[in-house]
Amino acid sequence: MIAVVDYRAGNLTSVKKALDKVGADSVITADPKIVSQAEKIVLPGVGHFSATSHLTDSGLRDAIVNAIQRGVPFLGICVGLQWMLESSEEAPDVPGLGIWPGECVRFPASVKSPHVGWNQLELRDKPSRLVQGIPSGSYVYFTHSYRVPLLANTVAECEYGGRFSAVVEQDHLFGVQFHPEKSGTIGLTLLNNFCSLSTSRDCDPIILTEQNAD
Amino acid sequence: MLTKRIIACLDVDAGRVVKGVRFLNLKDAGDPAELASAHSEAGADEVVLLDITATHEKRNTLLETVRRTARQLFIPFTVGGGVRTLEDAGAIFDAGADKISMNSAAIANPSLITEIANRFGSQAAIVAIDAKRNYNDNGKTDGFEAWVQGGRKQTGHDAVTWARQAEDRGAGEILLTSMDRDGTGQGFDCALTKAVADAVRIPVIASGGAGSAQHFTEVFQHGHADAALAASIFHFGLRSISELKQQLQNAGIPMRCAC
């Protein structure tokens, strides 16, 4: 069962609908206990980075940290990806998970913001389980005002007022800046890849530093 | 590269898609869920559903229509018409919409834009502006005025100024309809679109008047639109979306094509 984490940020219906479409068994939940028992976790997100502070207050953050340390596959979407970094300019006082280094920054004034619409994935030449079967140059739907810098674990980039991370992947941890649930067949392919991951796969648990895990 | 978007619009009355000319003479154009799905398969980048005769009594019909339409749609889905409160918006999001378009209520109560943006994010808050040219004594265009209540009531608000205020209040996009061109097939009002698109930093969706591929090229190149919306051109099979997008691509407009 896949837990779609409800932290009162935007619309989860469309993520659930897309998971139904690819045949995955999922539940929308705000209950840390259910998140702890899930085989996989999806953290959707639209809206403001500060909404992620609710994850800490509600005990969902601890449940998520605990699960990913046990090797449970985790997918962050949009703000869900941004939260996997250390912080965001959008809400400097709200800490992210700190799985990956760096800060989410605003788009430069040279381009319209938010970045809304269909833009291309440029795949790096790296093995990826999430974008398997998705050709480089495929269009996916973005809507965001802050972006994740290029990281060592970036597997797909996008260009808009500079290059940024569109897909990040490390072992069983995945983050996408765009909305796979709104990206037509390409998005459904990506979600199907995530849902098809073996949950019993041996993987090195990610050890969060004490500072980051707070 | 970020593409320009082609958006298919479904004007809905009592659960059926209808289309008129200059906001009048409505005729039946089909089932919203079926049409939305067909548009998506044909390459539409988004679908907008506007409840054009929204009344309190018909709210449940609308929510059911939104639910049915959203079920098989995996591209962005906007719903508008009769959104007056945060609760109205919440019910529409719960039914499966990704964005809310508000018009009359935003003019009457601009803080509604901020409320919806704060709760659901700016990307989910679209302000729709129905604009009509004003003319001076010499018959020359003298600005664009925003109208409300489905084009039945003047507001005295300049459309460009109102678009800027909507942006300041938290709107994520402007859906700009030319009442003068709506349903005429004579082309988008590029002067109106350019005036608004150049005045704001959020995306502007041009609407009203699409009749040929050339009209789309013009509104992207000369009207500076980020997206263009059309209804009747698609419903009555005047042209397929994929063929339209291919032509625009050939004209140098970045498009998401299956091609």
Does A54 qualify as catalytic in the annotation? no
Residue ranges of domains in chain B:
5-250
Average pLDDT, chain A: 91
Contact B109/B63 with Cβ under 8 angstroms? Answer: no
Is the CB of A114 less than 8 angstroms away from the CB of B123? yes
Q: Nearest CB to A181: which of B1, B74, B120?
A: B74
pLDDT of residue B24: 55
Task: Return the H-helix or E-strand segment holding B153.
Answer: strand B153-158
The C-alpha angle B239, B241, B81, rounded to 5 degrees, equals 100
The interface predicted TM-score (ipTM) is 0.90
For the cut 80, the answer to whether the pLDDT of residue B31 exceeds it is yes
pLDDT of residue B22: 53
CB contacts of A14 in chain B (<8 Å) are 70, 77, 96, 98
Contact B35/B73 with Cβ under 8 angstroms? Answer: no
Q: 3-state class of A2 per DSSP?
A: strand
| Conformational region of residue B243, where left means phi above 0, alpha means psi within -120 to 50, and beta covers everything else | alpha
* CA B60 to chain centroid: 22
Query: Which of the residues A115, A144, A172, A179 is marked catalytic?
Result: A179
Contact A80/A54 with Cβ under 8 angstroms? Answer: no
Contact B103/B82 with Cβ under 8 angstroms? Answer: no
Q: Which domain holds residue A199?
A: 2-213
pLDDT of residue B47: 96
For the cut 90, the answer to whether the pLDDT of residue B242 exceeds it is no
Instruction: Return the residue matching tokens 């063929």.
Output: B243
Percent of chain B topping pLDDT 70: 92
Q: Which of B37, B123, B201, B249 is best to mutate for the A interface (most A CBs within 10 A)? A: B123
Question: How far apart are the CA of A205 and the nearest CA of chain B, in angstroms?
Answer: 33
Distance CA B93, CA B65 (A): 13
CB contacts of B118 in chain A (<8 Å) are 48
Is the CB of B1 less than 8 angstroms away from the CB of A187? no
Q: Nearest CB to A48: which of B2, B97, B121?
A: B121
pLDDT band at A200 (very low <50, low <70, confident <90, very high): low
User: How many structural domains are present in chain A?
Assistant: 1
pLDDT digits (tens, 9 = 90+) for B208-230: 999 899 999 999 999 999 999 98
Distance CA B251, CA B143 (A): 31
Is the CB of A21 less than 8 angstroms away from the CB of B74? yes
Does A169 qualify as catalytic in the annotation? no
pTM above 0.80, yes or no: yes
- A50/B contact by beta carbon, under 8 A: no
CB contacts of A115 in chain B (<8 Å) are 2
CB contacts of B77 in chain A (<8 Å) are 14
Segment B17-37 shows an average pLDDT of 76
Helix A13-21 with A184-195: angle, nearest 10 deg? 80
Which chain B residue lies closest to A51 (C-alpha atoms)? Answer: B119
Which chain B residue lies closest to A11 (C-alpha atoms)? Answer: B93
Nearest to B189 by CA among B249, B129, B242: B129
Is the CB of B122 less than 8 angstroms away from the CB of A181? no
Neighbours of A23 (CB within 10 A): 9
Q: Nearest CB to B124: which of A10, A139, A144?
A: A10
Half-sphere exposure at residue A30, Cβ-oriented, CA atoms within 13 angstroms: 11
CATH number of B5-250: 3.20.20.70
Helix B241-250 with B213-221: angle, nearest 10 deg? 50
Q: Nearest CB to B74: which of A120, A139, A188?
A: A188
Q: Between chain A and chain B, how many beta carbons pairs sit less than 8 Å apart? A: 94
What percentage of chain B's residues is helix, strand, coil (to nearest 5)?
35, 30, 35
Q: Which CATH number is A39's domain given?
A: 3.40.50.880
Which chain B residue lies closest to A180 (C-alpha atoms)? Answer: B74
Instruction: Return the residue matching tokens 């998971």.
Output: A19
Is the CB of A11 less than 8 angstroms away from the CB of B75? no
Q: Which of B3, B67, B74 is best to mutate for the A interface (most A CBs within 10 A)? A: B74
Segment B21-41 shows an average pLDDT of 79
Tell whether the torsion through CA atoms of B232, B233, B236 and B242 is positive or negative.
negative
For the cut 90, the answer to whether the pLDDT of residue B26 exceeds it is no
Q: 3-state class of B21 per DSSP?
A: strand
Cis peptide before A114 (omega within 30 of 0): yes
Q: Which of A78, A112, A116 is best to mutate for the B interface (most B CBs within 10 A)? A: A116
pLDDT digits (tens, 9 = 90+) for B48-91: 999 887 666 667 778 999 999 999 899 999 999 889 999 999 99
Segment B253-258 shows an average pLDDT of 90
Q: Nearest CB to B121: which of A17, A47, A119?
A: A47
| Conformational region of residue B185, where left means phi above 0, alpha means psi within -120 to 50, and beta covers everything else | left
pLDDT digits (tens, 9 = 90+) for B80-122: 988 999 999 999 998 999 999 999 999 999 999 999 998 888 8
**Letter string b/e over residues A90-107, b meaning 16 or more CB atoms within 10 A of that residue's CB:** bbeebbbbbbbebbbeeb
